[in-house]
Amino acid sequence: MAGLPRAVSKVTRRGLFCVASAIVALATVNRAQQSLLLNPDAREFAQPAPSRFFARLDTSKGIILLDVERRLSPHGVDRFYNLVRHGFYDAARFFRVVKPRFAQFGINGDPAIAQVWRTRTIPDDPRIGSNVRGSVSYAFAGPNGRTTQLFINLQNNSEAFDKEPFVPFAHVIDGMDVADALNGEYGESAGGGIRAGKQDLLFSSGNAFLEREFPKLDYIVHATVEPL
């Protein structure tokens, strides 16, 4: 962890951005990357991730900075790294915020993209870390069932979540106050978890459905990979 404060400071300074400009840039990125995201078999999604990197989530509430370590979950980190690099999480809603427990996200707002990734599972990784406050893990319904959905632990959930096992692969190192502030008024009603079987409208209608029925949900404006 040596040198981390300097790295975090560098990323945080770059975090001063104009929301309007970010949204315009996001629209351009989405147009350019949509065809790629519609092809999960593209070689761009099979690149190995660095052993460690930062992932920055510019959200509607502020910046959340993640420290991501491949050793904690090689399959999970490779998937996350490639999805972030190619804009998958841009405009994704935090559709399941259950306070004080967790904040879940990771369904693309474009139904066509969301549906082609819905069943693109990755193999399980053995759990090394623990689901403490600030850790980030994949949601899943069964063995070898991880796809794209993630959650941030808003409290120490290790007693309940470690035995599943939900496998942490990253940790919030800046912006935990932002994660805590994500809108949780809708709770489970905007789609719930994978196991509840109530996410079909999120995949078939995407952000259009969420914006109409749950307009106060927070979201990721833009996600990027940041070097150490």
pLDDT at 12: 47
pLDDT of residue 168: 98
pLDDT digits (tens, 9 = 90+) for 159-178: 999 999 999 999 999 999 99
pLDDT on residue 228: 85
Confidence of residue 20 (pLDDT cuts 50, 70, 90): very low
Average pLDDT, stretch 60-68?
98
Question: Model confidence over 179-212: pLDDT tens digits?
Answer: 999 999 999 999 999 998 899 999 999 999 999 9
* Stretch among 32-41, 59-68, 118-127 having the lowest mean pLDDT: 32-41
Name the percent of the chain lying above pLDDT 90: 82
Q: Peptide bond preceding 126: is omega within 30 degrees of 0, i.e. cis?
A: no
Give the pLDDT of residue 84. 98
Which ranges in the chain belong to alpha helices (H)? 4-14, 19-37, 74-85, 111-117, 158-161, 176-181, 200-213
Binned at pLDDT 50, 70 and 90, residue 21 comes out as: very low
Residue 30: the pLDDT is: 61
Half-sphere exposure of 211 (CA within 13 A, CB side): 9
pLDDT number for residue 162: 98
pLDDT of residue 78: 98
CATH class of 4-226: mainly beta
Q: In this structure, what token pair is assigned to residue 196?
A: 């509840």
pTM of structure: 0.87
Calculate the alpha carbon distances from 137 to 30, 35, 86 in Å.
25, 27, 20
Considering the chain, what is the average pLDDT of its residues?
90
Question: Which residues are bridge partners to 119 per DSSP?
Answer: none
170 pairs with which residues across the strands? 68, 136
CA distance 92 to 211: 11
Residues 6+ apart with CB under 8 A from 75: 122, 123, 124, 125, 146
Burial-class residue 67 by CB neighbours within 10 Å (0-12, 13-18, 19+). Answer: buried
Q: Which helix (H) or strand (E) holds 168?
A: strand 168-174
What residues does each domain of the chain span?
4-226
Q: What is the DSSP letter of 146?
A: B
Instruction: Output the six-digit token pair for 136.
Output: 């980030």
Q: How far is CA 95 from the centre of its chain?
A: 11
**Could you tell me how far CA 36 lies from the centroid of its own chain?**
19
Helix then strand then coil, in percent of the chain rounded to 5, is 35, 20, 40
Q: For residue 224, is pLDDT > 50? A: yes
The answer on pLDDT for 99 being more than 90 is yes
